[in-house]
Amino acid sequence: MMHRDSLNSQQVMMYSVLGIALFLSVWYGAVALEVTPKQFLPSPHEVLIKLSSLLTQPFSGFTLLAHIASSFQRFLYGFLLAICIGIPLGLLMALSKNTDRLITPFFESIRFVAPIAWVPFAALWFGTGIGGPVLVIFMGAFPPVLINTYRGAIHVDKKFIEAAQMLGAGRLRLMVEVLFPAAIPSIVAGLRISAGLGWQSLIGAELIVASSGVGYMMVKGQASIQTDIVMSGMIAIGIIGLAIDIGLRMIEKLVSKYREN
């Protein structure tokens, strides 16, 4: 074990297949031995069958696709709100010491509240439709956007800022044309973190208060002890979360390519 025996790609492939096979056989084994009643532990293929049937047959009001659409819409609103407020505020904080001093203590004290703890207020203030969940997503997605924008912008060389000011750039132009482009790589990295947190906060919010969405579907499945529905929900959430991350990673690559040119 001390020697790092490097494996060739064929071996890696073989072991990977072995790993998946191991995982599936433990799962099937548990089902076959009836460790728990079937209701609590469906076998892998049964989950997949359920997943595909949920795509067409509505459960608790909507089909899986409709649930996904309603979750994703909420996610998009909350995420965009976090971007629209987080980026300008981060730039402003990097530019002006006073704004920084004003916002930082407030922000630091709020950051320690887990986003999910906003659920009761969110529901009380904005209801359980779109407004409430959007607030929860915002609370999850906002801090990384703000912090990364700020960090990206604060490291801009003083010389550039002074040069721009000398050439007569006002504050707004300074923010838009100097600080923002410089902070882009850091901002995009922050967006990936914030999308992950936002997506996960949304699921939490939907588990607690919502009347549609993937999280809601899972709670309904849980209440009627339909483990296959709960697991289908988990798979759907995983896939969408992954898709969001891959999308943002592509943007990240595009941005760095563009900057090289």
Partner 1 sequence: MTQWLGIISANRFPTPADTWASLKTIALRGYGNGKLHQHILQSIGLVTIAFLVSAAAGVLLGIFMGANRKIEAIVNPIFLTLRPIPPLAWIPLAIVWLGLGNSAKVMVIFVAAFVPSVINTFTGIRSLDNAQREAALMLGVSRFSYYTEVLIPTAMPLIFSGLRLSLQASWTTLVAAELVGAVLGLGSILNQAAQDINPAMILVGMMSVAVCGWLMTQLLAYLEKFAMPWRHT
Least Cβ distance, residue 101 to partner 1 (angstroms): 18
Nearer to partner 1, 121 or 160 (CB): 121
* d(C-alpha 154, C-alpha 170), whole Å: 18
Told to check if 54 binds partner 1 by CB under 8 A, we report no
Least Cβ distance, residue 197 to partner 1 (angstroms): 9
The strand pairing partners of 59, in sequence order, are 62
Which residue from 34, 105, 106, 109 is in contact with partner 1, where contact means CB under 8 A?
109
Told to check if 37 binds partner 1 by CB under 8 A, we report no
* d(C-alpha 27, C-alpha 35), whole Å: 10
Told to check if 35 binds partner 1 by CB under 8 A, we report no
Closest CA to 67 of 203, 261, 170: 203
Told to check if 7 binds partner 1 by CB under 8 A, we report yes
Closest CA to 88 of 168, 176, 154: 176
Which residue from 80, 222, 252, 255 is in contact with partner 1, where contact means CB under 8 A?
222
Told to check if 170 binds partner 1 by CB under 8 A, we report no
Least Cβ distance, residue 114 to partner 1 (angstroms): 4
Gyration radius (Cα) of the chain, Å: 23
Contact positions with partner 1 (CB under 8 A) in 110-129:
112-121, 123-125
* d(C-alpha 256, C-alpha 121), whole Å: 40
Listed in sequence order, the residues at least 6 apart from 226 whose beta carbon sits closer than 8 Å to its beta carbon are 39
Instruction: Say if residues 174 and 82 touch (Cβ distance below 8 Å).
Output: no
Nearer to partner 1, 65 or 225 (CB): 225
Nearer to partner 1, 72 or 176 (CB): 72
Least Cβ distance, residue 14 to partner 1 (angstroms): 8
* d(C-alpha 179, C-alpha 253), whole Å: 20
Q: Pattern of binders to partner 1 over 176-215, x per CB under 8 A?
A: --------------------x--xxx-xx--xx------x
Q: DSSP code of 127?
A: -
* d(C-alpha 74, C-alpha 88), whole Å: 22
Instruction: Say if residues 54 and 63 touch (Cβ distance below 8 Å).
Output: yes
Told to check if 71 binds partner 1 by CB under 8 A, we report no
CA-CA distances (angstroms) from residue 168 to 21, 161, 165, 173, 216?
A: 66, 11, 5, 9, 54
Q: Pattern of binders to partner 1 over 224-243, x per CB under 8 A?
A: -x-x--xx-xxx-xxx-xx-
Residues binding partner 1 (CB under 8 A): 1-2, 4-7, 11-12, 14-16, 18-20, 22-23, 36, 40, 109, 112-121, 123-125, 196, 199-201, 203-204, 207-208, 215, 218-219, 221-222, 225, 227, 230-231, 233-235, 237-239, 241-242, 245
